[in-house]
Amino acid sequence: MNSAISKFYEKSLGDRLDAVRDHANLTPDEVSSLKKYAALDFETANRMIENVIGTTQLPIGIATNFIVNGKEILVPMALEEPSVVAAASKAAGNARASGGFQAKADEPVMIGQIQLINIKDLSLAARSINERKKDILELANSKDPTLVSFGGGAKDLETRIIKHGGKEMLVIHIYVDVRDAMGANAVNTMAEAIAPTLEELSGGKACLRIISNLATRRLARAKAVWTKEEIGEDAVEGVINAYSLAAADPYRAATHNKGIMNGIDAVVMATGNDWRAVEAGAHAYASIGGQYRPLTKYYKDMKGNLVGEIELPIAVGLVGGATKTHPIAKISVKILGVKSSKELAEIIAAVGLAQNFAALRALSTEGIQKGHMKLHSRNIAVLAGAVDDEIDAVAKIISEEKKVNVARAKEALEEMRKR
């Protein structure tokens, strides 16, 4: 069947489902699954994105034990991977002996980029723009007086000459304090508003006018100490050795940072923020020095305790987007008890550090699979056909035997049912 379905967006939910059912030969049970809604109903979902036919759900778990800047925090995490929530909770518990996590986020300043091409004299164009900086910023701020009234708005701009493939261009960075928003809409609106003026001053043509997700002026940092008495001297040495490999080798650094993002993405998703933007910024920041590097670092203090630190851009908001639309996102924010985007970013950074510490400790001591597979065994039991009380019973058998696979789970289930 042709996928070019005319005016699909105008169709009712029923008609959309009928069209997809016919195209994909969906069974009645599969269509019924698509019709099931939880907190996010069809009407709300249909306003959030286009061509909605259903919703999907991820489990939301609560990471416990977190103390961030002296405040007790329960952390909602939305993801599908077992062991992540448990690992974050354990790492946070290990850090409590030293007071938990200290975190600090920059002011919420985002960068808008305006690309100017076909300029005859780039240096002259840059000077002309810098001389009119005040007027340009005033023009940008006129597009969002509400943001300005809350203390935000366009604060500065700079010019950059970029060369690529034998071509030269002028790129303008406008720095916008977006307050408690993620900021994409505000920044993009301002970038488009000032583009004609920049064209006039430079004699060039504006091409791209859009936010950058490499938010180097919106960094978040967190730090924690895990005492040698709490985690053991072997773990201290093991984590530092594991970090050393990531610092030297991008192949390891990629997996190292993936572990960080297990925690960060889960909180970003639970609060309805843009996890793709945060991911892009994190990995770009990891590469900003010319080689892909870990976003955390570890070392020993004078007492031989393990110190962990993290720094990365975290552009998240509490206003606008799904954060204010999705019912579960609003509940997650309430559970966190945060009052500003900076506070949210600080907690997210702390979770990323905790997640990374937990992974490195497991990798460098007992191995990552022991705890992960123990939790994963329940999923395998379900895949084997176990239901109700059978799930935990089968999971226990295959976990203890260290044979966490569907074939063994099916055998164990069959043996159990025969008995």
Question: Which single residue is written with the structure tokens 């000077």?
Answer: 127
Distance CA 31, CA 34 (A): 5
Q: In this structure, are residues 115 and 160 in contact, taking their beta carbons and an 8 Å threshold?
A: no
Where would I find the H helices in 96-226? 122-131, 133-141, 145-149, 184-202
Distance CA 322, CA 275 (A): 12
**Is 274 in the active site?**
yes
How many Cβ atoms from other residues are within 10 Å of residue 23's Cβ? 12
Question: Which single residue is written with the structure tokens 């261009």?
Answer: 169
| Identified catalytic residue from 11, 155, 173, 258 | 258
Q: In this structure, are residues 102 and 213 in contact, taking their beta carbons and an 8 Å threshold?
A: no
| Identified catalytic residue from 11, 18, 81, 396 | 81
- Give Dmax (Cα) for the chain: 86
**Is 258 in the active site?**
yes
Point out which residues pair with 307 in neighbouring strands: 225, 299
- Say whether 295 sits in a helix, a strand or coil: coil
| Identified catalytic residue from 256, 372, 374, 376 | 372
Q: In this structure, are residues 186 and 147 in contact, taking their beta carbons and an 8 Å threshold?
A: yes
How many Cβ atoms from other residues are within 10 Å of residue 324's Cβ? 13
How many Cβ atoms from other residues are within 10 Å of residue 264's Cβ? 30
Q: In what order do the strands lie in the sheet with 153-164?
A: 153-164, 167-177, 109-117, 205-212
Residue of 371, 380, 381, 379 lying closest to 83 (CA atoms): 371
Helix (H) or strand (E) segment spanning residue 357: helix 341-364
Distance CA 203, CA 240 (A): 54
Residue of 311, 312, 314, 310 lying closest to 274 (CA atoms): 314
| Identified catalytic residue from 274, 342, 374, 376 | 274
Report, as residue numbers or ranges, the catalytic residues: 81, 258, 274, 372
